[in-house]
Amino acid sequence: MKTAFWFVSVSLLLTGVVSLANAQSPAVTHNTWTTGTAMPTARYAPYTGAIGKNIYVVGGATSGYEATGVNEIYNTKKNTWTTGAPDPTPRGFGASAVVNGILYVIGGYNGSDDLTLVEAYDPVSDTWSTKASMPYAFDSMPAVADKDIIYVIGGNVFGSGIIANVESYNTTTDTWTEEASLPAATAWQSVGLLGAKIVAADGDPLSGDNEGYNVKKNTWAKLAADPTARYAGCFSVIKGELYVAGGWNGTTALSVSEAYSAKTNSWTTLASMPESNGYSGSAEVGGRLYCFGGNPGNQTSDDYVQIYQP
C-alpha cells in the first residue's frame, strides 16, 4: 500500500511540474512583429553580428553621413542595452559577419572616403584588432560567412559607382581571395547561406534580381526574383529561408516583409514591419529576425528595434 501511495504521489508531483513548466512557457505568436527597447544611439547602416544571446550594433551614421564608432550591445533575453569598446575607426555602410565568436567589421565609409580596413571585435576581452585589408576600398556591400570564410558581395566605390566584385576573407589565414564576380554590378543586397549556396537578393540598381552562388564551384546562377524590388533591407536566414524586411524602392522606405525558400525557389509574403525603414542593422537570434535603427527618409536615423517572429 505504501509503495502504491508513493508511486501516485510522485506521479502527481511530476505531472504538476510538467504542467507548471507548460504554464510558464510563453505562447509563440507566429508571423508577428514586436518592438524592443530602443537603441541608445539612433543610427543607420551599422555593422551588426549575433554572438550567443547578444547582438552587437557597431558604428553607422547618426545623420547624413556623419559616422560613429559606438558599440552598443543588445541582450535579446533581457531586452536591455549595454556598451562595449567603440570601433577605433568611426564608419558605417560596410560589411560585417561573425566567425567563431568574433565580429568582423569590413570596409565601409567614414564620411569622406571608402575604407579597406578590416577590424575584429572580441567580446570576451572587449578589444579590437586590425586584420588584413581588403584588396579594394568600397562600401554598401553585404557579407555572409560559410565556416571560416567571409564572402563580401558587390558594393559601391565612392565617386565611381556600383561594382560586381566578390571577395572572400579567410579568417584563419587572414588572407583575401577574389572570387567569381556577380552577374551584374549590385549594392545593398540581402544575403544568406542556404545549405551550400549563398543567396544574394535585390540590391541597387533596383531590379529584384536574385542570384545563387555555389561555394564549391565558384559560380553564380539566377533564382526567382523578389516580387518587391528593393535594396538596403533588413535580412537574415532563419530555418533554411532568407527573410527580407523593409528596405528602399528608390524613393520610399518600405515595410514589406518576405521570405525566400531555396527548396521551392519561391517567395512568401509575410506580416509588414511596424515602421517602414531601410539601411537597418540585421541579425538573427533564437529563430527571430532583429532589425536595428535605419533610415526612414532624408538621411535621418532612428533608434527602432523591430523583431519578427516567423
Please write the tens of the pLDDT for every residue from 159-169: 999 999 999 99
Residue 268 lies in a domain: yes
pLDDT attached to residue 299:
80
Query: In this structure, is residue 241 part of a structural domain?
Result: yes
Q: Do 135 and 89 contact (CB within 8 A), yes or no?
A: no
CATH code, domain with 215: 2.120.10.80
Beta bridge partners of 228: none
Q: What's the domain range around 196?
A: 30-309
| pLDDT value of residue 51 | 98
* pTM, full prediction: 0.91
pLDDT > 50? residue 17: no
Mean pLDDT of 49-77: 97
- The per-residue pLDDT for 297 is 85
Q: What pLDDT, on the 0 to 100 scale, is given for residue 6? A: 38
Q: Over 50: is that where the pLDDT of 8 sits?
A: no
Residue 133 forms part of a structural domain: yes
Q: Is residue 22 part of a domain?
A: no
pLDDT-derived band at 44 (thresholds 50, 70, 90) equals very high
CA–CA separation, 248 and 27 (whole Å): 33
Give pLDDT, residue 46.
98
Q: How confident is the model at residue 24 (pLDDT cuts 50, 70, 90)?
A: low
Whether residue 202 lies inside any domain: the answer is: yes
- The number of domains in the chain is 1
Is residue 218 pLDDT above 50, yes or no? yes
* Average pLDDT for 195-219: 97
- Which residues on adjacent β-strands are paired with residue 260? 242, 267
Q: What confidence score (pLDDT) does residue 25 get?
A: 54
User: What pLDDT, on the 0 to 100 scale, is given for residue 27?
Assistant: 82
- What average pLDDT does the structure give for the chain? 92
24 assigned to some structural domain: no
pLDDT score recorded for residue 9: 39
Q: Does residue 233 carry a pLDDT above 90?
A: yes
For the segment 77-103, the average pLDDT, to the nearest whole number, is 98
Give pLDDT tens digits for 258-307: 999 999 999 999 999 999 999 999 999 999 999 999 999 888 899 999 99
> Is residue 8 assigned to a domain?
no
* Secondary structure of the chain in HEC code, one letter for each residue: CHHHHHHHHHHHHHHHHHHHHHHHCCCCCCCEEEECCCCCCCEECCEEEEECCEEEEECCECCCCCECCCEEEEECCCCEEEECCCCCCCCECCEEEEECCEEEEECCECCCCECCCEEEEECCCCEEEEECCCCCCCECCCEEEECCEEEEEEEEECCCEEEEEEEEEECCCCEEEECCCCCCCCECCEEEEECCEEEEECCECCCCCEEEEECCCCEEEECCCCCCCCECCEEEEECCEEEEECCECCCCEECCEEEEECCCCEEEEECCCCCCECCCEEEEECCEEEEEEECCCCCCCEEEEEEEEC
- The mean per-residue pLDDT over the stretch 214-218 comes to 97
Is 242's pLDDT higher than 90? Answer: yes
Question: For residue 152, what pLDDT band results from cuts at 50, 70 and 90?
Answer: very high
Q: Does the structure show a pLDDT above 70 at 212? A: yes
Question: What pLDDT sits at residue 4?
Answer: 42
Please check whether residue 17 lies inside any domain of the structure. no
Kindly tell me if the per-residue pLDDT of 208 is higher than 90: yes
